[in-house]
Each structure stands twice: as C-alpha cells, then as structure tokens.
Chains A and B, each alone.
Chain A
C-alpha cells in the first residue's frame, strides 16, 4: 500500500481537490495553526495539519511546497479556497479527527514507515 493510501485510510481523509493534485511525495508532517510559525518551520514535502480553511492556507502551502493540507475537525473550505488550491495544485483533504488525533496517527505511520526502511 502506498504511503498516501495508508495516510488517507488511517486519518479517514477525503480529498476535495482533483486526484491530480496528489502528485507530491509525503516526507513528513507538521501541525500548526499559526501561519507565521508554519511558514518558518514546515519542511518541503510535509503534510500540513491545521484547523484553518481559508485562502491563506493555500498561499502558505504554495510558498513552502508542502505535499498537502489536512483540514481537521470536519471543517470544509469555501469554494474560493478550493479554486485557488486546484489552480496551485495543492491537495486539500478533510478529516473528522481533530489536530491531536490526526497528528498522532501520522506520527505512528511515520514511525513504522521509517522502521520498514
């Protein structure tokens, strides 16, 4: 099972953008809701876990080259945000889990993943 599939299944993710946006490799993850902090500390290829769902999330994602954004707490971005995400090819995913739960699952996946390698 590919890493993306594993993550999608474990976090019960729903992809809101087109499947073509899922083109980057996931290298790790970062969780944060303060955009300036994320901008400073997220690494390229990270999956970004956040509660935010507005347009600026896409702006930060584009600048930092994250592999995708997980919006937690069963919250959906508005149409405008989705349009920009599609245009900038940033995958937006939603989950019912909260930040803590989603990050915990990701931590587990990456711990196992690095042991396998």
Chain B
C-alpha cells in the first residue's frame, strides 16, 4: 500500500464488512514527540479471541473465495519496519479497535496520503453507517461527524453528488490547513 490512508481505508472496509454502524477514525500527529498514530474503532461483530492471532497471519482470511488476506499483516509489517507499535483489540459483538503508531520522522513511514478521498469513499460505500473523523496535529484539532452533517442537511442524503462535492472540498481544505506545519527542509514530510 502506497500510503497510510490506504491502510485506513482497508481497516474501515473490514469494519463495514463486520456490520459496523458506528466508525471512529482518530489520527494524532505530534512533531515534538515525533509520533503519528491512528486508531480505527468500530462496533462491528468483533473477532473471537482465538482468531485475533490469525488475522495477523497473511494466510488467514474469512473471505471464502480468497486464499490470503493481507490487509492487517501488511499494516503490521509497515509499523514494525519503522519500529512502531501495533495493537488490535476486539470483543465479539462489541467491536474491534486497531491502533498503529509510527515514529513520525522515520524514513520508511509512508506518507499519510489522501484522507479526504478515504472519508468520501467510506461515505459512498457506507450506506447508513455513521462515522467520526478526528485528526489532531500538534494539538490543533479537526473533527468531522456524519451524524452532525446529516442533521444540518435536513433530510437531504449525504450521498447526493452535490453534498459529496462540497464535502470533498471542505475536508481537503480543513485537513490541509490543519497539517500546515513547518517541516524541516529534508525531514520526513506528509
């Protein structure tokens, strides 16, 4: 996967496939403490304790027609390559929480990538799922919730093209403004 937003999209699609109706994506970046971490939390049907180990195995998948499921093992590898932290917690019928933390300036940490595109894809694919996106950059915050947006849309579907076009512009502007930090000249960026 080319960037972290693709991992986030992959995790979120796992959540969708697990029947989640509430999805939380939290990203925290702090240049001073050199951290970039994200959490994807859902209320899907969860993973049995005995299967948790198995999702990290590339030769395990619940998809019947696929022989391997690489998503989570690729993320774990991406984290470990940089000496980061990877955690997956799950309770059957309650939900799943996947957490990944990277040393932000590590050369092999992929850039965050296109979060706007990820959120838009999730809204398009998610149907009635509610989603919260929380992004912290050097303690500045950005918060977006589909539930709140839907309230102000007063009955117009969030999947209407005009809404999505506006949302795309809004999100990319806000996320760009949030992350506008002073990057050192040759240091890690993105």
A contact residues vs B (CB 8 Å cutoff): 34-36, 39, 52, 54-56, 59-60, 62-63
Across the interface, do B190 and A35 meet the contact criterion of CB distance under 8 Å?
Answer: no
CB<8 Å pairs between A and B, sample of 14:
A35-B108, A36-B106, A36-B107, A39-B107, A54-B3, A54-B110, A55-B111, A56-B188, A56-B190, A59-B186, A59-B188, A59-B189, A60-B107, A62-B186
Chain B: interface size category: 10 to 19
Residue of A nearest to B184 (CB): A59
Main secondary structure, interface of A, reads helix
Minimal beta-carbon separation of B136 from chain A (angstroms): 22
Q: Which residues of B contact A52 (CB under 8 A)?
A: 2
Q: Which of B107-133 contact A (CB under 8 A)?
A: 107-108, 110-111
Q: Which 9 A-B pairs have the closest CB atoms?
A: A35-B107, A36-B107, A59-B186, A55-B189, A54-B111, A36-B108, A35-B108, A55-B190, A54-B190
Main secondary structure, interface of B, reads loop
B contact residues vs A (CB 8 Å cutoff): 2-3, 81, 106-108, 110-111, 186-190
Across the interface, do A63 and B108 meet the contact criterion of CB distance under 8 Å?
Answer: no
Q: Which residues of B contact A56 (CB under 8 A)?
A: 107, 111, 188-190
Minimal beta-carbon separation of B21 from chain A (angstroms): 34
Q: Which residues of B contact A60 (CB under 8 A)?
A: 107
